Every structure is written in C-alpha cells, then in structure tokens.
Amino acid sequence: MIDFPIAKINLGLNIVRRRADGYHDLETVFYPIPLKDALEVQTMDEGFPSATDCDIKVTNINIEGNEQDNLVVRAYNLIKERYDLPRIHTHLYKGIPTQAGMGGGSSDCAFMIKLLDRMFALGMGDTEMKDYATRLGADCPFFLMGVPAYAEGIGEKLEPIGLSLEGLTIGIVCPHIPISTKEAFSRIKPRQTEVKCREIVMQPIETWRSRLSNDFEEGVFALHPEIGLIKQKLYELGAVYASMSGSGSSVFGLFRNPVDLTGLFGDAFVYTAKL
C-alpha cells in the first residue's frame, strides 16, 4: 500500500508563553500544501532475515541517524504495542526537505498511522489515531486532518478553519541551512498577541504583510541573514505575502500570478505549485 504525506506551511507563528514543562505554547495556522513524500508499506516474508520488525529505506534525501529513530518506524512500534502487526518493509521517498519547517517528518508519521489502520483493518477511530500522533509529535495530529486549522497549545489543539488559498501560486525556497529547533526556541521571547493569527488570515491577503508574523524570523534571520534575503527577494518578485515556515529554514511566498523561481536562489531547493 502506498500513500503520499503532504507538507504544510505556517500562516503566522506566535510563541505566547513558556510552560512549566519546558515546552512553549504557540498560536499558528497550519495550511496543507501539495508538496509530498511517498510512503510505501508491504508485508515482510516470514523467512526474511531482518533484525527489526519494521525496516525502512529512505531515498532521494539522506537522513542521518539511526533509521529506527525515524518517526515512521516509531509509529509502527507504538501501534504494535497494542495490535498484532506483521513485520513490514517500508520505503520512504522524501520529496519534502528535512529541517525545513514544513512538517515532513510529522506528516510521514501521521500518514503511517493512517496507512497501518487501513492496510491491516485495525479499526482505529479518529480519537485513537490522534492519541498516537500526539505522543509522537506536537504537529502530527494536524496531518491526520489535512485541512487548514488553527493550532494552540504545543500545536496539538486544533480547530479547522474555513480558509482557502485556492488559485494562488506558492513558491518555496529552502536553502541548505539546517535550523536547530532547540536553538530557534532559545532565541524566542514569548509574548501575548493582540490579535490572533486565526483572525488575521480571514482578512484580505494584502493585509497580512504588516500583521501576520512568525516569531522565529528575528532570531533566525540574525543568525542566517541569507534566509531573510530570500524573503525580501520573494517580495521583490511580486509575492503578496512571504514568510518563513515554522522555525525554518524554508521561506514561502504567495503570488497572485504564476512565478518561476528556477535559478534565482543558487543551489537552494525551490518548488512552485498552484494551490
């Protein structure tokens, strides 16, 4: 069975307080975009010599570290604690850049949960799948829904909103600059917002530039000015709104008209699509 995990962008991202447990409460709007990975699962032959119940092959983008720490494998292992799952082979083709602020790993995890439920007829309902997703990552539950949503808490408190960017073109630039989420948070000064991003995004997109902010940008742009220059360039190319997504390093622009970013940003990953 195969499925196609989607990416997301953040429309506004405000860090409003530091919690007693060391995490941060935030306010953001998650918006799904058509940039995708491909996730394929097949059962493993009984005699196949594998040291693990879920082996994984990742292609197109190299991911460092122990493959058994991949969120896809962790999702399988967590669900196997309750359900009698067979051993499986997993192939993950990465089309979504890693450490980019677009939720690729979380999406892979959420889609693995849904895929296992369908493939092996586990009968998990939405509540159970959300519980597994929340245990694996704060923004994983969003990818179970896959519709625009306002998020609070650490990203797990979700409220679908009637927002559509249909007809706009999105352009994404992701430089080869890994951003540590821990480091990005260390440069944040939490603050309460006067107007929540949920209200701002329901206003005309032309008003977003002066009102819709990502609190990570100030610290990340100070460390890596070239990322800030990407945002500036997208505006120069005609974006009606541009922002870093998540804690970076990807920057997206929303355009009224088609745009071609090929060759404009060196060796950075670029992607455009009509929403």
Q: Which residues are catalytic?
A: 8, 139
Residue 30 neighbours by CB distance under 10 Å: 26
Is 58 within 8 Å of 94 (Cβ atoms)? yes
Q: State the sign of the Cα–Cα–Cα–Cα dihedral 210, 227, 168, 33.
A: negative
Q: Look up residue 200 and give its amino acid.
A: I
Locate the DSSP E strands across the chain.
2-3, 6-18, 24-36, 38-43, 54-59, 88-93, 149-152, 157-160, 169-174, 241-244, 251-255, 269-274
Q: What is the DSSP string of 51-97?
A: SSSEEEEEESS---S-GGGSHHHHHHHHHHTTS-PPPEEEEEE--SP
**What is the rounded distance in angstroms from the CA atom of residue 138 to the CA atom of residue 164?**
24
